[in-house]
Homo-oligomer: A and B are copies of this chain.
């Protein structure tokens, strides 16, 4: 079953899912790979290939039944259940993520928030108390936290990750602009806004106006 699916394929599945949920809400019954590709920013062949890794969900001559495919993708991505998430770092980025509705909507619930700043510890965020990072390991374990979002400064990030991994967490979403090391078996994703911004700077400085489209996407 585990054939070795590329990260880009998985990323696109998320994108397709978003499009499909939207279509579903608008009462659309079926989509072709063509249409799904257009809305998802890719090609029809790519859509079909991506899906083909997981099964055969379409109906030839018709396309995909929206509701069915939504269910399939949810299942593939592990979104049928909810996930227990903790946020480490209660700064501006942490606060923004805490309020980010899209996480909740897909079943990611932030159950704990940590910070090392005594000023922040004890604050209440929608009734959830910001805890001291000293309690980190204990609370992660007791709370059965499965995913941790790291939103601390770059120079503190590796320490946080080490402790979090130590506490048994195996999924980490990192917002600190630094490259982290995790042991095998731990999934790590980086969101590095500075890198993206510099990619824009590069595109505008170089190829910017010349020749082909410098239009990039995804990340």
Q: Mask for A175-189, Cβ within 8 A of B = 1, else 0?
A: 001111111111111
In the complex, what distance in Å separates the CA atom of A78 from the CA atom of B205? 6
Within 8 Å of chain B (Cβ to Cβ): is A217? yes
| CA distance in complex: A79, B206 (Å) | 12
Interface range for A: 35 or more
A41 to B213, alpha carbons, bound, how many Å?
30
A206, B19: Cα distance in complex, Å? 23
Is A156's CB within 8 Å of the partner chain B?
no
Which of B179, B211, B215 contacts A2 (CB under 8 A)?
B211
Is A202 an interface residue, CB under 8 A from the partner? yes
Which residues 32-76 of A have a CB within 8 angstroms of B?
A: 39-41, 76
Interface presence of A118 (CB below 8 A): no
Query: A177-213: which have CB < 8 Å to B?
Result: 177-213
The answer to whether the Cβ of A122 comes within 8 Å of any Cβ in the partner chain is no
Question: Bound state CA distance, A140 and B77, in angstroms?
Answer: 40
Across the interface, name the chain B residue whose C-beta is closest to A178: B18
A120 at the interface (CB under 8 A from B): no
Given that A206-B2, A215-B184 are contacting pairs, would A198 and B96 also be in contact in the complex, using a CB cutoff of 8 Å?
no
Q: How far is the CA of A99 from the CA of B183 in the complex (A)?
A: 32
Whether a CB of chain B sits under 8 angstroms from the CB of A214 is yes
- Would B215 and A186 count as touching, CB distance under 8 A? yes
A77 contacts B215, C-beta separation under 8 Å: no
Given contact pairs A171-B200, A182-B215, A187-B203, a sample of 9 additional A-B residue pairs in the complex whose CB atoms are under 8 Å apart: A14-B195, A17-B198, A41-B181, A78-B201, A79-B201, A92-B96, A102-B177, A102-B193, A186-B214
